[in-house]
A and B are shown apart, each in its own frame.
Chain A
Amino acid sequence: MVPSSLHEIWVYLAASPLLALTLTLIAYQIGAFLYRRAGMNPLLNPVMIAVLLLVGILLVTGTSYQTYFEGAQFVHFLLGPATVALAIPLYRQLRHIRRSGAAIGAALLLGSLTAAASAIGIAWALGASTEVVVSIAPKSVTAPVAMGISKELGGLPSLTAVLVILTGIIGAALGPPLLNLLRIRDMRARGLAMGTASHGIGTARALQVSEVAGAFAGLAMGLNALATALLLPLLWKLVFG
């Protein structure tokens, strides 16, 4: 049992945004520390660790998500400006776009459609609810944009955030062995595939393999976010609207 005085202190602190904000930063840094310690093993993704820690704390202390979010919203707010800032790395890849633009554009569009259509199709065929189907549709898109798309289409942005992270981990862990199996050695193709399918987490993994792969993965992440944000809502309206 928690002594009542300690409990009172907790109730006092839990009511101010400072506690949730500080805990979020601490949990993330614990996650980042463990991830680095494990040699950047994709299975020990820092976001996943932070989320598990914080969910555990909320469950143990009986704190509602709403109370937590009052503090954590200050971190959450930065997603918007961070999305705008993605214009800078995208601009830095401009020479790559110019050099093999047609091939990149065509491969990316095909990959982008495959990512959304196969996720929707498989989830729907296996009997997922509409909410889940919508939330899983932008799973390959970088989290801030994916959450925006999910919200636009009537999905659950927080579920999308978790599905996006899981997708990144799956792609980072299984992507390289799959590409080896398919005997694809072109680093541009490998990077483009990793970035399209598993956004920033896949990009980080591609960057460990080669700089060219990393650059193409970063480019693919940005372009896929753009393509999905522009096309998915329109296609969705066309098919299900």
Chain B
Amino acid sequence: MLFYLTLILSCQLLGELFVAATGLPVPGPVVGMLILFAGLTIRGNVPDGLAMVADALLSHLSLLFVPAGVGVIVHFALIGTEAVPISVALVASTLLTIAVTAAAMVLFTRMRGDDGSQ
């Protein structure tokens, strides 16, 4: 358990170091995720201990963004004055994204002669 927690933190640390060294505008933890993903692909399976640590971290993933969400308190004024562009952009862009992605997936799978029936 402790070993795999250390492994996850080490991947993150490597990711942060990579970003700091290259100056790429990518979040360090995302690079860490890629490093871990590459490791899993090479190994060919997920060790039980790693699965346990990951599931523990991810089972309450939404709890982890509560502290940041509370930060909205600092931006009340900004959200108030820009409520219209924010709400229209959120609703319209989300619906458009769902429609485009689903339609594209249906189109591309049909082009490959795969109708989705399994």
- Write the residues of chain A forming the contact surface with B, with a CB cutoff of 8 angstroms: 24-25, 27-28, 46-48, 50-51, 54-55, 58-59, 65, 68-69, 72-73, 75-76, 78-92, 94, 100, 102-104, 106-108, 110-111, 114-115, 118-119, 122-123, 125-129, 131-132, 136, 139-140, 142-145, 147-149, 151-153, 156-159, 161-167, 170-171, 174-175, 178-179, 182, 184-190, 192-194, 196-198, 200-201, 212, 220, 225-226, 229-230, 233-234, 236-237
Give chain A nearest CB distance to B107 CB in angstroms: 8
- Return chain B residues, CB-CB under 8 Å to A80: 12, 28-29, 32
What class of interface size applies to chain B in its complex with A? Answer: 35 or more
How many angstroms between the C-alpha atoms of A31 and B112 in the bound complex?
44
Interface residue from A76, A87, A110 paired with B68 (Cβ < 8 Å): A76
The interface residues of chain A, by DSSP majority, are classed as helix
Q: Which residues does chain A contribute within 8 Å of B103, judged by CB atoms? A: 182, 184, 189
Task: Let me know if B17 is at the binding interface, CB within 8 A.
Answer: no
* Nearest CB of chain B from residue A5's CB, rounded to whole Å: 28
A-chain residues with CB within 8 Å of residue B2 when the two chains form the complex: none
Contact check, A50 vs B30: say whether CB atoms are below 8 A apart. no
